[in-house]
Amino acid sequence: MADLVEKSKKLSAYAAVDDNLLPSHRVIGIGSGSTVVYVAERVGQASNKSDLVCVPTGFQSRQLIIDNGLRLGSTEEYPEIDIAFDGADEIDSNLGLIKGGGACLFQEKLVAACSKQLVVVADYRKDTGVLGKGWRKGVPIEVVPAAYTKVSLDLVKLGGKPVVRSGLPAKAGPVVTDNGNFIIDCDFGEIPPAQVAELNAKIKALVGVVETGLFVGLASKAYIGNADGTITKKTV
């Protein structure tokens, strides 16, 4: 099972890069997580890799870019990115996403918003069609530390069940993001695809919320690696 999942991740990542990285592309967004490891590997094999600048979505992603001999850039230098590749915790039928299982959602959304297109890479477990169906840990929400109790109360009023993400066993106390903030995981049950944008807007409007792990209207394609070695390609 673990081997099948790993193979599916690599399959989706390699196919996504092979199909979508064009010779004209110069600035590439490289996302976070275990699937994107294979994206960075494949981009690092490109014959024109010295012409590329890669913009990371966090500390892990930055290391992947360096480890694969690619040139690092930033959103400050490159606010217009040709294409970004990133993983997802869950994918719905509109290519709405839950992201942030690895606490990287803010910089991921920033890179996605800077990119002309976002291509999602994922194994077959993520493609459930409805957010909250397979990913039962809740929607990750990045909050300013001083606001976490206030935002938690607000999220209950929105119908959610918020839990501040713990750093245990590696760290006593909450997880601290690459931006120095906390993550609240908020369970809203299953979120119908047509209601994702509205829920995202309501959470985003709360004072203290930096960004949400609901990605709506950002992904243009998804490459799902299947257990049988095939790939499902989805577009909106």
Q: Which is nearer to ligand R5P, 88 or 186 (CB)?
A: 88
- Residue type (1 letter), 179: N
Q: 27 with 74: CB under 8 angstroms?
A: no
Q: How far is the CB of 122 from ligand R5P (least distance, A)?
A: 7
Report the nearest approach of ligand R5P to the CB of residue 137 (Å).
Answer: 10
Single residue of 82, 90, 92, 108 touching ligand R5P by CB under 6 A: 108
Q: Which among 6, 90, 108, 198 is annotated as catalytic?
A: 108
142 binds ligand R5P (CB under 6 A): no
H-type alpha helices, the chain: 2-20, 36-43, 59-67, 105-114, 148-157, 196-204
> CA-to-CA distance for 173 and 165, rounded, in angstroms?
9
Written as six digits, the tokens of 98 are 């839950």
Q: Which of 39, 105, 139, 199 touches ligand R5P by CB under 6 A?
A: 105
CB neighbour burial string for 76-96, b if at least 16 within 10 angstroms, e if fewer: eebeebbbbbbbbbbbbebbb
Of the residues 8, 12, 35, 212, which one makes contact with ligand R5P according to CB under 6 A? 35
Nearer to ligand R5P, 12 or 152 (CB): 12
Active site residue 108: yes
Measured distance CA(195)–CA(140) in Å, rounded: 17
Which 69-88 residues touch ligand R5P, going by CB under 6 A?
86-88
Query: Residue 53 Cβ, how far from ligand R5P at the closest point, in Å?
Result: 21
Q: Is 22 helix (H, G, I), strand (E, B) or coil?
A: coil
* Interface contacts to ligand R5P, rule CB under 6 A: 31-35, 86-89, 99-105, 108
